[in-house]
Amino acid sequence: MAEEAEHPNPMDGQKPRSWMETIFHGDPFERLIVAIITSVTVLAAIVTLLQTNASARAGQMGRDAQSYAIRAMGCRVTGQANMDYAWHAYQLYEELDVQALLADRFDDLAAATRYRTLRTRIAGLSPLLAPPYYNPESSTMPNVERYEADTYLVEATALAERYAVTSSLNNDWTAKANAYVTHLALLAVSLFLFGLAITVAGWIRWLFVGVGLLITGLTFIWILVVTLSPIRSVSEQAIQAFAQGVGYAHQRELEQARDAFTRALQETPFYANAYYERANVVYDLGDYESAVQDYLAAQAAGRDDVNVAWNLGWTYYLLGRFDESIATSQHAVVLDPAQVGVRFNVAIARLAAGEIEHARAEYTETMEIAAQQVATALAKGGKPPASLWTYMDAAARDLEGLLDRLRDQPHPWTEAPPRDEVVNPQAVETAAQEIVKQLKSFTTALEYTGKPPTAPVTVTISPFEFAIPTYDEEGNLIGRTIASVFPEGTDKVLALFDYADMKDGQEVIWKLYHDGWEDPAWRLVEQWSLGEAGSAEKPFSLSYTNLYQFTPGEFKIEMYVDNQLVQQGVFIVEARK
The pLDDT, as a whole number, for residue 4 is 46
pLDDT by 10-residue block (mean), the chain, 577 residues: 48 53 62 89 96 96 96 96 94 89 87 91 91 87 95 97 96 96 96 89 88 95 95 96 98 97 97 98 97 98 96 98 97 96 98 97 97 95 93 96 96 95 96 97 96 89 94 77 91 94 96 93 93 94 59 95 96 90
**pLDDT at residue 546 in the model:** 43
Q: Are 313 and 342 in contact (CB under 8 A)?
A: yes
Q: What is the pLDDT of residue 129?
A: 92
Conformation bin of residue 563: beta by default, left when phi > 0, alpha when psi is -120 to 50: left
pTM tops 0.85, yes or no: yes
Strand partners, 355: none
pLDDT, position 452: 93
Residues linked to residue 556 through DSSP beta bridges, in sequence order = 513, 570
Backbone phi, psi, residue 238, to 5°: -65, -40
C-alpha 252: how far from chain center: 17
∠ CA 53-57-63, rounded to 5°: 145
CA-wise closest residue to 552 among 522, 515, 517: 515
According to the model, what pLDDT value does residue 27 have? 73
Strand locations in 366-502 (E): 460-461, 465-471, 477-482, 485-487, 492-500
